[in-house]
Amino acid sequence: MPERTMIEISRVTRSYGAFKALDETSLSIREGEFFSLLGPSGCGKTTLLRMIAGFDTPTSGTISVDGQPMDGIPANRRPTNMVFQSYAIFPHLNVEQNVSYGLKRLRLNPSEEQRRVEEALAQVSLGGLGKRGATELSGGQRQRVALARALVMRPKVLLLDEPLSALDKKLREQMQVELRRLQQAVGITFILVTHDQYEALAMSDRIAVMFGGRIAQVATPKEIYQRPTNCQVADFLGGMNFVKANIVEENGSTITLDTPVFGRVKTDKPVAFARNGNAATLGIRPERLRVLWDDATDKHEVAGKVVDRHYFGEITHLVIEIPGFEKPLSVTETNNFGADDIPVGAPIRLAYDPDALVALAD
Amino acid sequence: MTALRKMLPSWLTAYAVLYIGFLYLPVIFLPIFSINTAATPKFPLSGYTLKWYRDLATTPALTDAAWNSLMVAVSASLLATMFGICAARAITRYRFPARRSINGLLMAPLVLPEIIIAVSMLLVMLQLGLNLSLITVVFGHVLICIPYSLSVLTSGFEGFDRSLEEASADLGESPFGTFRRVTLPMVAPAIISSLLVSFTISLDEFIMAFFLTGTDATLPVYIWGQLRFAAKLPGVLALGTLLLIASVILLTIAEIVRRRASRRTQNMGGLIA
C-alpha cells in the first residue's frame, strides 16, 4: 500500500481566550487509513475534526489535505465530508433529496445523479427507501442516510464525529463492523472521533489518544493497548494494574525496572518515555494475569488473597491482595474453570507473562 | 367534603362560562346591531337589513381609509419581519457583548406606554423635517411590530439545529445557497407567522396612526372620526363586523401554520435527540 499522506496537521493550536482546546498538535494521516481520534470529552478531538472540516479555524498552525493547505478555504470548498453526531438530516427533505443535496451543486445529468444516489444508498443498505421522509426514519437509518449523503460526494476524507454514540449497544456493534467494511470497500480515508476505546480499537488502523489538547500517543490499536506510552493512556484504554517501580537502568530502547514481587523487569522503553527522577510505573492488564489452579505452577507466579469478586457473565473480576504491593491487583478470568466460585478470602496464586509487563512514564 | 367536591366543578364551569361571556358578548353585539334597521343600537331590533354594508362600499372616505390601512399594514409587516429576521438570527445564533440588553431594548416598545412612543416619534419626525404621511405611520408601526415579530421569530429560530447549516456547507453549498435551501424552508412558518401577527397589529393600531398620519386616515382613525356622529354608528358596526371576520380568517391561517410548524419542530426534535 502506498504510504501517501492525506492529512498533514502541523503545529496546530486553537485557543479560546486563555484556554487552549488544542496545543501545538502535529499529526499525519495516510491515504486510505481508518484513523481514530480517541479521548475523553474536552480533549480537543472534536475541535481538531471541525478544523479539518473547516467549521473552526486554527489560531496558529496549518492543516493540509492531500497536499493543499486549507488556510482560508471555507468548509464548502474542502474535499472533506462529515457525518455529524446529530446526523443533521434535513427534516424537510426525503432520503433521496438528502443524499442528492450536495450533488445538485455539481449539475450532473439527472440519470447520472440518480445512479450515484442509488449507489450510495445501496452501499449503506438503504436501497428502496429513497422516497421515505427524513422524519420517518429510525436512529440507525438516519445514521445510514448521513453516511450515504457524505459518501455520494466521493470525498478525499470522510470525517465522523461520534457517529455511533446515539445508537443502542447491539446496533452500535453492528455498525462498527459495517463502517469498517464500508471503509475498506470505498478506500476513502476515514477519521473517526470517539470517546469509546472499544470502538476505536475495533475499527481503526491507527489511533491517536488525546488528553487536554495534546496527542499522547499515536499507534496501531494493538500497540496502543499493549504498549501504552504512559499511565494516562494505559488507564483510558481499559483496566490496568499499576505497580510503583524504580528505574535501575535505561539505555536506547530498553529499560530495567525494580519492583516489589515481580523483581527486576527488563522491557521495551516507551517511545516518548519522559524520565522523571528514578520513579516509574510498571503496568499489567488484568486479563494478562492467570489464576493457577490446584497444583499448577509457573515460572512467574505471585501469591495473594482474594479480597473481592465481581461477576460479569462471561468473565469474573477478582481483586487480589498481594503482600508487598500497595494496591491489590485486578484480574479478569473467564468463567470456564470456575473463577466465579472462588470464595472471597481464599488464598490464590497467579501466573504472569513477563512480556505483558510494560514500563510506563508517570 | 364530597358534596363540596361535587359542587366545585359546576361552580368552575359557571365561572368559565361567565368569563367567556363577558369577553365575547360585546363582540357578538357587533354583527347583531350591524344588520339592524334602526341607527341606535338597542333591543328589540326593529328589523333586518344589509343596507349598512351596501353603504360601506359607496363611502369613498372609508374605502380610501381601508386601502391606506392595507398599504400600511403590508409595508409595516414586511419591514418589521425583515428587521425581525436579522435581529432574531443575530440573537439566537451569535454570542456578542450586550446581547441580552440589545434584545431587551428591541422588546421595550411592548411595555412602554404607546402614547409616549407616539409623541416621541412625532417629535423626531418633525425634527427630521419629514412630512407626516402614511410613510411616517409605517415607521411607527414597524417600531411597535418588531417586538412581536422578534419573539415569534426567535422561538422559530431557536429550535433550529445549527449542524443542519454546517451539513449544508459541508456538502458544498455556499452561504447564500444554504440559507435558501435549508434555513429558509425550516424557518418559513415562523416568518409567515410573524407577517400575519405584524399585519394584524398594524391594521388595528390607533394611537401611532392618529399621531403620525397626515391627511390620510387609516381605518381605526377613520372609525374614531365617525364615532362622533350617531347616525354613522351602524356603518361603523358593519365595518367592525367585516374586520372581525377578516381577523378570524387571518388568525385561523396563522394557527394552521403554527401547528404545522410545531409538528415539524417536534419531528426535528426527534431527529436531534
Per-residue model confidence (pLDDT) at position A36: 97
Alpha-carbon gap: B175 to the closest alpha carbon of chain A (Å): 9
- Containing B144, the helix (H) or strand (E) segment is helix B134-158
Of the partner residues B167, B264, B270, the one whose CB lies closest to the CB of residue A84: B167
pLDDT band at B224 (very low <50, low <70, confident <90, very high): confident
Per-residue model confidence (pLDDT) at position B263: 62
Quick count: other Cβ atoms within 10 Å of Cβ A313? 7
Alpha-carbon gap: B120 to the closest alpha carbon of chain A (Å): 43
ipTM value: 0.83
Q: Taking each helix axis from N to C terminus, what angle separates B219-226 and B233-272, rounded to the nearest 10 degrees?
A: 150
Q: Contact B163/A53, CB-based, under 8 Å?
A: no
Whole-number Å distance between alpha carbons of B35 and B23 = 22
Whole-number Å distance between alpha carbons of A246 and A260 = 10
Q: In what order do the strands lie in the sheet with A254-259?
A: A263-268, A254-259, A241-251, A279-284, A358-360
Name which residue leads in pLDDT, B258 or B66: B66
Strand partners, A157: A80, A189
Per-residue model confidence (pLDDT) at position B7: 65
The SS3 of residue A1 is: coil
**Thinking of the domain B61-272, which architecture would CATH place it in?**
Orthogonal Bundle (1.10)
Of the partner residues B166, B185, B273, the one whose CB lies closest to the CB of residue A88: B166
On the question of pLDDT at B271 being above 70, the answer is no
pLDDT band at B273 (very low <50, low <70, confident <90, very high): very low
Whole-number Å distance between alpha carbons of A15 and A22 = 7
DSSP state, residue B82: H
pLDDT averages per 10-residue partition of chain A, 362 residues:
84 92 94 95 93 94 94 93 92 92 91 93 89 88 93 94 88 91 93 94 95 94 91 92 88 86 84 76 91 87 92 92 89 87 91 88 77
Quick count: other Cβ atoms within 10 Å of Cβ A109? 8
pLDDT band at B272 (very low <50, low <70, confident <90, very high): very low
Given a contact cutoff of 8 angstroms between Cβ atoms, the answer to whether A14 and A22 are in contact is yes
Tens-place pLDDT, residues A162-205: 999 888 888 889 999 999 999 999 999 999 999 999 999 999 99
Q: Contact B264/A149, CB-based, under 8 Å?
A: no
Going through chain A in order, the beta strands assigned E by DSSP cover: 5-16, 19-30, 34-38, 60-65, 68-69, 80-83, 157-161, 189-194, 206-211, 214-219, 241-251, 254-259, 263-268, 279-284, 289-292, 301-311, 315-321, 329-334, 347-352, 358-360
Identify the burial level of A356 via C-beta atoms within 10 angstroms of its C-beta, where 0-12 means exposed, 13-18 middle and 19 or more buried: middle
Of the partner residues A75, A90, A149, the one whose CB lies closest to the CB of residue B169: A75
Name which residue leads in pLDDT, B76 or B270: B76
| Window A:319-358, CB contacts with B under 8 Å | none
Considering only CB atoms, which chain A residues are within 8 Å of B171?
76, 81, 101-102, 105, 149-150, 153
Alpha-carbon gap: B156 to the closest alpha carbon of chain A (Å): 15
Q: Which of A147, A157, A5 is nearest to A80 (CA)?
A: A157
The three grid cell numbers given for residue B59, joined into one nine-digit string: 363611502
Residue B256: phi and psi, rounded to 5, are -60, -45
Q: Name all domains of chain A by residue range, CATH numbers in brackets.
A: 5-226 (3.40.50.300), 231-282 (no CATH), 283-357 (2.40.50.100)
Q: In what order do the strands lie in the sheet with A315-321?
A: A289-292, A347-352, A301-311, A315-321, A329-334
Per-residue model confidence (pLDDT) at position B4: 61
Q: Contact A105/B169, CB-based, under 8 Å?
A: no
Per-residue model confidence (pLDDT) at position A187: 92
The domain locations on chain B are: 61-272
On the question of pLDDT at B46 being above 70, the answer is yes
Residue A301: phi and psi, rounded to 5, are -140, 155
